[in-house]
A and B are shown apart, each in its own frame.
Chain A
Amino acid sequence: MILIGLLAFSLFGQGQDSPKNWSLSGYVKNMQTLLFFNDAFPDFQQGMLVDTFLQDNLIHNRLNFRWMINDELKLRTDLRTRVFYGDLVRANPNYGDAIDNVNNDYFDLSLVLLDENAWVVQSMIDRLYLEYFKGNWEVRLGRQRINWGISTVWNPNDIFNAFSFTDFDYEERPGSDALRVKYYTGFASSVELAVRMFDHFDEATIAGMWKFNKGSYDIQILGGYDRNYLAMGGGWAGNLGDAGLKGEFTYFLPLDKEQDDAFAATVGIDYSFENSLYLNGGYLYNSAGSTSASVTNLFNFELSARNLYPYRHAIFAQFSYPFTPLLNGGVAFIYSPVDIHALFANPTLTLSVAENWDLDFVGQITFDKEKRGYSSPIQAFFLRMKYSF
């Protein structure tokens, strides 16, 4: 409704000769999921983990609306609607509430339209902000993504809205209800301050970031307060010969003495060969991570910049290669050299079927060493068709 109202308003406000000052774009995706559990699905009646196989489907629509109110003011509204149906929905009686409550937004701009049997329909305003820019100033107010990450795979600097890489279907990633003021001091340098809306101070995130460019390196330094922790960190993106060298770290000092401090740091190298083979390798140290938890935690651990991965150590390797200009294939592995030797394998294939039509195949296969030896407790396979407009 809001969207339609805005549309009408902007059309009304448009002069006859002026170029179009608004745009509407988006996509529709249909994704089929196959989930295989190998002694890993919780059966509450039997009170044990069992083997099972689940099939689910997700239809996902996104509408991105932009309105250039004038040369200095812009409004952005994105609406995300998802229709879930299948076994996983049926198996979880509170599926609707569960997916509705995952966002840590201040304002509740989401609605479960339907939650019956194996069906859930949920709609949310994923972005809603005003942006003012003039000269070197940029001010944004509203639901926005404050993306402070600079490295490739893990982003310990992304304290406003960390995301899980297993959630590949949410490319835009979650936003924050926040005020952000940025001043650009050069072609790749800026100073910014951001505050997330809060009622109680222990829910607040208030932080600043300074970015600058030196000797072909982009460098950033971060400091602030993040939900009862003081956060201090930094990161860089630069070149090592013809390869990219990126890294990022944040130290979290608790203000509450009963909590532990946390340190997350990552470093990675990426390189693209002349035949277009792309390689990316990296390492994450995550002091809050476990050394023994089951690999099934990958899909439900408590995610934040303080804890980007369930394990203390993680080594990442990714290969991707365009077999033809239309077919791109790749595989990523994340191995944790801890007691449980958790391994996450993530093969992907992307095919451009036609102009604006993409078909993706994605696998998420987990391995770990538990009591019964090395095995694969969960395998997930996704087939997704996307139409962009």
Chain B
Amino acid sequence: MTLRADLAKIAELVPAGVRVLDVGCGDGELMAEMRDAKGIDARGMEIDAAEVERAVARGLSVMQGDANRDLADYPDQAFDVAILSQTLQTAERPDWLLDQLLRVGKVAFVSFPNFAYWRMRLSLLWTGRMPNSRHLPANWYETANIHHTTIFDFLELVGERGIRVEGSWFFAAGREIGGANANWRAEHAVFQLSR
């Protein structure tokens, strides 16, 4: 199975030989890719026991935990790279989570679905209902995605927090696109952040 485009990009960007924490790692597909392609011995955190079970069964080091609380247990700068892929929008407090991410990691990679993607906008405009998409399939009342954001909103938050954007990559329909007008053209975004 091929890795989703934003995960593949992160796997490509993380250099070999660094200490990595993948927050919200799911069944560890990104961790496994980094291990197999680059020999990276990453750690993962995942809230869903069944996902943790699958990740550990792959031989990965994953702990069941709630990032909204358990990230606080890690010492400062315990990792070179902290990854938060498709998890920011599920956080109780995305601002707190970003701060924690850049406390435990020297560099953070954050990927999230862009709610200002043109298909989302059209869907809302035409149907007058919360959009469902391939990447955001759940109904509004049962979705884990409680803090939808847009690229503009995200950039505003990191700006206010004094977080440096070291790089950004954008994706639509499963492939990378340029950064021009990304806030309506991009379905997903990946940001490399530091303090």
Q: Do A and B bind each other?
A: no
**A residues at B contact (CB < 8 Å):** none
User: Footprint of A on B, CB under 8 Å?
Assistant: none
